[in-house]
């Protein structure tokens, strides 16, 4: 028995020595340690939404004993219609911004990848410079531009669904969000187009395709994973954006979820942290579910999209 145990232990040691885990266990351990605070934060968020109060990660009642579980924190779903207005506005904002970013980035990325024209490298450098500017440094000039756009007839404040492209409209917030997101989108799309062989496009042009036809029928299908990755990244980023909607939207009718959540953190009244946690989880769950099913496409951003050169 002892000999069999020693032989089995020796076999396990050989298997550990020959496997790849021996070299990567430190990295796995570091990853686990760095992930613990994030996981604990989400666990607390979930527990606090179903409890009167919490002591650490333990739900407690008014006497400090285990219990106090309740659905009271979720009453905003059927008692406060403003949260559904904010959810609809957030969806419109995210989808509108994603659509514009993907279309413009795909067209611009193709031109920068395939065409040689004067000022091409300068334009690429300028997009990087624009992306380097922090959002808060451009809020005041952006506000002045939106106020001027508000004075335009029809497009300023009278467009259906998005309201317009001026101040205090969803269209204006979409316009600003697109401006801040486009430099990254253009560079990513250029990187994906750089990885598509020229021979495929030449063959399409020889067979009689126009330049647009070759782009639409031959080149674009080859970068479908990149388009999906950019669309998902743009949607997730816009869904949780706060500073731009908070600055350029006034009034509850155009509120988004992040601004609605901020309105619960009053400075003069006690904060109901259970409700704040519930609204935060309500905002986070769609993004988490969306991310779980689309994370493989997001990895394309770091794989193919980063390979393109100038």
pLDDT in tens, 197-235: 888 888 888 888 888 888 888 888 888 888 888 888 889
Q: Work out the angle at residue 109's Cα, subtended by the Cα atoms of residues 104 and 115, and round it to the nearest 5 degrees.
A: 125
> For residue 165, which of 184, 181, 142 has the smallest C-alpha distance?
142
Q: Is 48 exposed, middle or buried (0-12, 13-18, 19+ CB in 10 A)?
A: buried
Instruction: Specify the higher pLDDT residue, 305 or 55.
Output: 55
pLDDT at 7: 63
Strands (DSSP E) contained in the chain are: 53-55, 58-60
pLDDT tens digit sequence for 79-126? 888 889 999 999 999 999 999 999 999 998 888 888 887 888 888 888
Buried b (16+ CB within 10 A) or exposed e, 28-44: eeeeeeeeeeeeeeeee
Instruction: Find where tokens 């970013």 sit.
Output: 101
Residues 191/304, Cβ–Cβ less than 8 Å: yes
Q: What is the DSSP secondary structure assignment for residue 163, as one 8-state letter?
A: B
- What the block records as the tokens of 293 is 């099913």
Compute the distance between CA of residue 29 and CA of residue 249 in angstroms, rounded to an integer: 45
pLDDT at 206: 84
Per the document, the length of the chain is 310
């Amino acid at each position: 028995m002892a000999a069999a145990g020693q032989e089995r232990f020796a076999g396990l040691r050989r298997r550990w020595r020959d496997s790849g885990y021996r070299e990567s266990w430190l990295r796995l351990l570091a990853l686990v340690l760095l992930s613990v605070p994030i996981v604990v934060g989400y666990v607390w968020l979930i527990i606090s939404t179903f409890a009167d109060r919490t002591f650490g990660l333990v739900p407690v009642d008014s006497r400090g004993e285990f219990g106090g579980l309740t659905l009271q924190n979720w009453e905003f779903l059927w008692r406060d219609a403003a949260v559904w207005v904010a959810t609809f506005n957030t969806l419109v904002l995210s989808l509108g911004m994603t659509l514009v970013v993907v279309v413009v980035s795909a067209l611009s990325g193709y031109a920068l990848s395939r065409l040689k024209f004067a000022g091409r490298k300068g334009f690429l450098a300028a997009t990087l410079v624009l992306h380097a500017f922090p959002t808060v440094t451009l809020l005041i000039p952006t506000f002045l531009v939106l106020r001027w756009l508000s004075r335009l007839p029809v497009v300023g404040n009278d467009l259906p669904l998005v309201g317009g492209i001026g101040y205090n409209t969803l269209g204006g917030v979409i316009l600003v969000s697109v401006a801040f997101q486009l430099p990254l989108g253009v560079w990513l799309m250029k990187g994906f187009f750089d990885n598509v062989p020229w021979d495929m496009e030449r063959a399409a042009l020889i067979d009689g395709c126009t330049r647009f036809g070759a782009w639409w029928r031959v080149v674009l299908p080859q970068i479908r994973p990149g388009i999906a990755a950019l669309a998902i990244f743009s949607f997730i980023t816009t869904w949780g954006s706060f500073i731009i909607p908070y600055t350029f939207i006034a009034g509850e009718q155009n509120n988004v979820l992040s601004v609605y959540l901020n309105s619960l953190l009053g400075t003069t009244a006690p904060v109901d942290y259970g409700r704040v946690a519930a609204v935060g989880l309500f905002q986070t769950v769609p993004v988490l579910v969306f991310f779980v099913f689309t994370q493989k496409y997001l990895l394309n951003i770091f794989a193919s999209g980063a390979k393109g050169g100038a």
